[in-house]
Structure 1
C-alpha cells in the first residue's frame, strides 16, 4: 500500500517532548515508539487514541519512568511519527490489531501493564484478551471495547460523520475541544505536527468509522470473544475515567461490574474531558504507579 512519512523537521523542538525516537519495522513501513525508564523493568504500554499520538502521554511518561518502570508509548500506524497509509480504505480494525500484535512480538514484551484510552482501549483491551499471559494488569481511562450490540451515543454518531465527510479536519482543535484546559500554541503545533496536509490524515479520518456500530460488524465477533476472556480476567483491572467525557461516560461502571479483576480496586474519577491525559496527567500516572506498587507488595 502507498504510505507517507512525516518529515522529521515537523517534530523539532516540541514542547515537553524530549524523548529519543525508536522505530520498529512493519514490512516497508515503520512504527515509532517512546521507550523510557529501565530497560529490564516490566513495561507499561501506553496506547493513545484518536486523533492523538504519543505526545498525549508526555507528562505521564516521566512520572512512571521515575518510579522505576519501563514506559513504552507507540504511535499507531497513521499517527505521530509512524508511517501513514494514504487511503482511508487501507485502515481496518483488524489491520490495527495486526500491527499492534507485531509490535509487542517485535519488542518481545511480557508482564505488560496496559494503559489505554479511546481507540487505545479498542485495540489494547482486545490485545490483552488475545494475549492474556503477556499482560499483568490493565488500566482504562475513557475507553471501551464495543461489540456493536449496544446503542451508540448520538455524540459519537455526529463525530463519526464529521470525521468522514467534513472538508475541514483540524487535529489540534479537536483535541483542544475534548480537553477541559486550553492547549497552548506550542501544544497545538505538536498535535498538528504529524499531519502536514490532508494526505497524512487518512488514518485519523478512518478511525471513527471502524468502531463497531452493529452486531454484524467485522469486528463484532472478535470483540465478543475478547469479552469472554475479560469476563474471566482475575488480574488487576483499574478504571480511571474522567468526570467530563460525554462519549465514554458510564463505561467505567460497566466494566467494573463485568470484569472480575476490577473487584476491590481503588477506581478513581479524574478531572477532565475526553483527553484526561491533558487535564489530569500526574493524577493518572500516580494511579498507575500506586496500582503497581500495591501489586509488588501484595
Structure 2
C-alpha cells in the first residue's frame, strides 16, 4: 500500500470545491442513529454601542454607557467571518494497519487533508493537533493556505511507516491540550480509531462539546469487525509474533469489537455527537464529498 505524500494531499484541494462544513444539518451526516449535535454556530464579535430601541435584547444593554449617558444603550455584535476549525489527528502507530485499499493511517491523512481544504476554502481558520507518538504538534488556527500547508506537511512527516503498538493515551493527550485553545463556537473534528476510548475520553469530549461543535470520524478496517478468515496466521509485531487460528479466534475477536462499537455508540448518543464511520476500502474522494454536500436545513 502506498503511503500518502504531500503532493497527493495538496491535490485533494480540487475535491474540496463546492463542499462545506456549515450545513444546518450536521456535516458528516451518516450518523449512528438519528441523533445530531446542537449547532453552536460561529462566534460573535463586538461591533458598536447604540441607543436602545424597543425589541432589542435586554441582555445586551451596556450598563456602563447607560449610566454615563443617562439613556439606555445596547451592544451590537456581528458574526465572525472566520470560525476556528480544529483537526484532532490521533495518528498513533497502531493505525499502520489495513486489509483493503489503504492503511488506516493513510485514511486519516487523506480525510484530514480534504477536511482542511474544505475549511480553508469556506473562509475558516484551520488549526490542528497531531498526536499519536511522543511528540504532540499543535498548529494554531490560520486562514487559507497558510493554515493548511504546514498541517499537511506535519501529517506526512508524522504518519507511521511500520507496525507499532497503539498509544492508548494519545487521543486523551490531544484533547487535554486542545481544551485551553478553544474559542466558543469552534468546530472540532476528531479523527481516530478510538482504540483507547475510556472514561477520561468521554469526560473530555463532554466538556468540549458543551462549548463547541464537535464531530467524530471513526477509522475502521473490515478485518477488525469480521475477524480472521479460516486458516492459520502469524500475527503481532516484529519480534512478538504468534500463530492465530481464524475459526477459533473469531468469536472472541468479534466480541471485543462489538464492545468497542457499543461504547462508542452509547457515548455519541449520550453526548449528542455526530459520528461517521470511514472504512479503508472506500477512497476518501468517494466517501466524504456526498456527506459535505448535504442541503442546508431551514431554521
TM-score normalised per structure 1:
0.39
Higher strand share: 2
Q: Which has the higher contact order (CA 8 A, sep 6+)?
A: 2
TM-score normalised per structure 2:
0.39
Larger radius of gyration: 2
